[in-house]
Amino acid sequence: MSIGSAIVLIAVGAILKFAVTAHVSGFNIQTAGVVLLVVGIVGLVLALVYTFTYSRQRDVRVVDDRDPRY
């Protein structure tokens, strides 16, 4: 999950939780909003951890095993 898709899930979840007042038989819209919010927040945290963990420069050492006489 990318950062953009996590933000979209958070936005859709917040809209369903706080802005929609419709009631549907057999389906709770507010609960679906909470689920989307939680999944979006977890996805955003994981995407940020992945981005910052693997974007740092790694310490690379070059070993020259050649004979200096040649």
DSSP 4-50: HHHHHHHHHHHIIIII----BTTB-HHHHHHHHHHHHHHHHHHHHHH
Domains held by the chain: number: 1
CA–CA gap between residue 34 and residue 42 (Å, rounded): 12
In a domain, 46, yes or no: yes
In a domain, 69, yes or no: no
1-13: pLDDT as tens digits: 799 999 999 999 9
In a domain, 14, yes or no: yes
In a domain, 29, yes or no: yes
- Residue 54: per-residue pLDDT: 75
CA–CA gap between residue 7 and residue 48 (Å, rounded): 12
In a domain, 50, yes or no: yes
Number of neighbours of residue 69 by Cβ within 10 angstroms:
4
In a domain, 68, yes or no: no
Question: Rounded to two decimals, what is the model's pTM?
Answer: 0.73
Range of the domain at 10: 3-54
In a domain, 11, yes or no: yes
In a domain, 59, yes or no: no
